[in-house]
Chains A and B, each alone.
Chain A
Amino acid sequence: MEQELLEIFSGAPFDFETLALRIFTRQYERCEPYRRFCDRRGKSPDRVTDWREIPHLPVTAFKYARIYSGEGEPVHYFETSGTTQGPERRGRHYFQTLALYAACSRPVFKQFVLPDRERIPMFILAQPPRLNPHSSLSWYFDQQAQAFGDGVEWFVDEQGLRAGALEEALRQVQGPVALLGTAFAFVHMVDSGLKVHLPPGSRVMETGGFKGKSREVSREELYRLIREALGPEVVCLNQYGMCEMSSNCYDQTLVTGSRHKAAPPWVRIRILDPETLAEVPPGTPGIVAVTDLANLYSCAFLLTQDIGVMYEDGFEVLGRAPGSEARGCSIAMDEFLQVNRCDR
């Protein structure tokens, strides 16, 4: 199946539904926590005939159970970054090999971040894999740097963003460049007062939430601040991914001009009603459910904690579900945890 997927990542035609059902069967058989999850819902491969009926495993499961469908022991795992809310449990995404992981990200990055060129100088606002070997994001950036970088420098170390060094490096650039990094690193960048004027064709790709690591700003506001800092011609776009996924989705800004996100052919996004988990119509917010067939060694069917909306030309992620607040003098769990920084 690995070979088949590698060909699909290179553009080979395939039938999504059939492959999804085959991967479901394989993961149901190999991953015991997922099998029990499906059994509790009465969904086994012999009963599921439509891929949309395959149960989506909540990503929180990666924190408590070993979600592994590979053969033998995994060679590597990526770990969720957690938030600053406390020493919470971290999720682990295990891999039998990293070959699929490497192969599924590059063509999509090329399509949505570098549709107009083969290589570009890269300035990465994240820790290099050397400093954070279990960060899927560091690994992802490194993959793109190896494949498409024309000179690559990393600007986050153990102390945080090296804003001075970044500004100095950006002042030297001759042609278009790409800045890639976490959303909160870009907040730190604009807050540092950095100001340069990058050549047209330069681009910023940011990803992830703020996770309490910087002030929270809307994406609109962040992009405005970035263009103030880097120059008005800079194009900003967002990548949607997570530690528990292998593939990534991107804004189509550089391809069609649309800010709605597109997924590669082996990924399907559905938006579900949080109450019933039924699919909601386009335009209605709900939970983002991801089917990522590149997740061969873990679970391809994920229920995220993000709220999203589907449109005709792609989807939008409105953000991490904020948690509920009580309506009056009562207090709900999330508010309580925010105040008390509980460690559960």
Chain B
Amino acid sequence: MIAELLAAQEELSRRPVGEILAALDRVTARWLDHNDPIRREAEAALAETTGLAPAMIRRGLDETMLRVRGIGDLLDQDLGSRLALDGFIRRAPGVLSRAYGPGLLVVVFAGNVPAVSAFDMALALALKSACLARPAREEPAFAPLFARSVAEVDPLLGRCLAVQRWEHDEAWPYEQAGAVVVYGSDASVAAVRRLVPPGVRFIGHGHKIGFAVVAREAATAETARRLALDVAMYDQQGCVSPHMAFVERGGPLSPRDFAAACGQALAALEGEMPRSRLSPEEAMALRQARDEAEFAADALFASPDDLAWTVVHCEEAAFLPSPLNRLLRTFSVDDIAAVPELVRPYRSYLQTVAFAGPSERREALAEALGALGISRVCPVGYAQQPSPLWRHDGRPTAGDLVRWVDIEEPPGP
């Protein structure tokens, strides 16, 4: 199978990038058509395997496909121009550069956010590279459907994609890889890293914790409504999902009232996007966090008859992640400028911060958080919709996968 991928990749390397992107546009056009049979098949399969609400799956598919549509812009950003993949482009006076894709890209996906695999597979193709994708056990359905849709639109691109599962300790998939990308727990990332031959580009996206910061100016019911969406999407399982929100005192809503408003907003989402089923362990973890909050927290807002949603409010700020599945912790702060110190001990886990407030305060906060290693500050309500230009974990997503060849021209007369 790998030999076939490599042979197809050889053929793909002669395709202009513009043609590849045009084919990918035809693929995403199919996926953005809610009546397309493959899209409907995927929606049904994802609802079945993940248990996520159909409305959430539809939303997630649309957002993922729009991100795929941005790959051309991503190439322009990361490589200077997408045309660097077709030939030498002048990078500076006296320097011409050409970019090559990684060669076979092996991607190990996590099961927490369905359909994200479309982006990595499409990016590999845009970089004229084949892609071997290992879907997660919890979400095996989407990647084969995406590969099939690519093959139906463009057989050569289709032959550059393979989707297969293998055991965690199998090394063969990595032996001829040009680059390996792994999403998963720190332990899974480390386990794959050990199997990858030296010299092969390795990019691991391990454990991350998201949080939100709400400046007093934005402590409103509208912000709470947006934050609830960030919490509800994928039942908070995304690495960008906010576990907690630091809410500044002195705004239109007190932090406690803001927490109550988040609860109301989460309750309102129940109709359209009910939470997925829980494993007994997940239910126990939520139950215990709630029980603890009932006696230890300053306020608890929770769905009355089940564990559908929970907001735990504490007046004293701390960094305490959520058991997930729609449990949001809110903490009061006098000044959002205190947040960087609060989160500093956990800097290695930090990635996305959802922010609501005036832009000048956003920049000051982003400076301080950026120094700690946070890589993305997005508006509250958009945590799950990273820009196509997103530098995942702070690194250029396409730029990290290519290698360059430079021509240095002789000095002029």
Which residues of A are in contact with B by a Cβ distance under 8 Å?
A: 33, 37, 40, 58, 60-61, 63-65, 273-276, 285-287, 303, 305, 307, 321-336, 340, 342, 344
Contacts and interface: CB of A to CB of B under 8 A. Distances in A.
Q: What 6 A-B pairs have minimum CB-CB distances, sorted nearest first?
A: A328-B110, A328-B112, A58-B291, A321-B284, A324-B285, A274-B283
B321 interface: yes
B185 A61 contact: no
Contacts of A40: 294
10 contacts: A285-B280, A307-B280, A322-B281, A323-B285, A328-B136, A330-B207, A330-B241, A333-B321, A333-B322, A333-B324
A327 B238 CA distance: 9
Given A333-B320, A333-B322, A333-B323, A328 B113 contact: yes
Given A276-B306, A329-B184, A333-B285, A61 B321 contact: no
A60 B295 contact: yes
B404 interface: no
B280 A286 contact: yes
B264 interface: no
Interface string B283-316: 1111111011011100000000111000000000
B318 A344 contact: yes
Interface string B354-370: 00000000000000000
Given A323-B281, A328-B136, A334-B323, A274 B287 contact: yes
Nearest to A320: B284
A13 to B, nearest CB: 35
A328 B281 contact: no
Nearest to A272: B287
Nearest to B183: A329
Given A323-B281, A323-B323, A324-B282, A333 B289 contact: yes
Contacts, number: 137
Contacts of B322: 332-333
B244 to A, nearest CB: 10
Given A60-B292, A275-B307, A332-B321, 19 more contacts: A33-B295, A58-B292, A60-B288, A63-B295, A64-B295, A274-B284, A275-B278, A323-B288, A324-B286, A325-B185, A328-B113, A328-B185, A329-B110, A329-B205, A330-B209, A330-B241, A332-B323, A333-B289, A336-B349
Which of A275, A322, A324, A327 lies at the interface centre, i.e. has the most chain B CB atoms within 10 A of its CB?
Answer: A327
B330 interface: no
A305 B284 contact: yes
A63 B296 CA distance: 9
Interface string B258-284: 000000000000000000001111111
Contacts of B185: 325-326, 328-329, 331, 335
Contact of B112 (A58, A326, A342): A326
B208 interface: yes
Nearest to B204: A329
A132 to B, nearest CB: 26
B112 A327 contact: yes
B294 A307 contact: no
Given A324-B279, A324-B281, A333-B320, A287 B237 contact: no
Interface residues of B, number: 49
A275 B183 CA distance: 30
Contacts of B241: 330
A327 B138 contact: yes
A335 B186 CA distance: 11
A342 B280 contact: no
A340 B241 CA distance: 20
Contacts of A33: 295
Nearest to A37: B294
A327 B206 CA distance: 12
B110 A307 contact: no
Interface centre among B110, B294, B349 (most CB of A within 10 A): B294
Interface string B96-140: 000000000000001111000000000000000000000010100
Given A33-B295, A63-B295, A64-B295, A328 B239 contact: yes
Contacts of B206: 329
A273 B291 CA distance: 15
A286 B291 CA distance: 16
Contact of A274 (B112, B237, B280): B280
A211 B19 CA distance: 60
A65 B287 contact: no
A100 B221 CA distance: 53
Nearest to A276: B306
A236 to B, nearest CB: 27
A342 B318 CA distance: 11
Nearest to B320: A344
Contacts of A330: 112, 207-209, 236-239, 241, 324
Contacts of A285: 280
B110 A327 contact: yes
A297 to B, nearest CB: 19
Contacts of B280: 274, 285-286, 307
Contacts of B287: 274-275, 287
Contacts of B283: 273-275
Nearest to A322: B281
Nearest to B296: A64
A33 to B, nearest CB: 7
B224 to A, nearest CB: 22
A306 to B, nearest CB: 9
B158 to A, nearest CB: 27
A185 to B, nearest CB: 27
Nearest to B275: A275
A115 to B, nearest CB: 34
B166 interface: no
B294 to A, nearest CB: 7
A58 B284 CA distance: 12
B172 interface: no
B111 A327 contact: yes
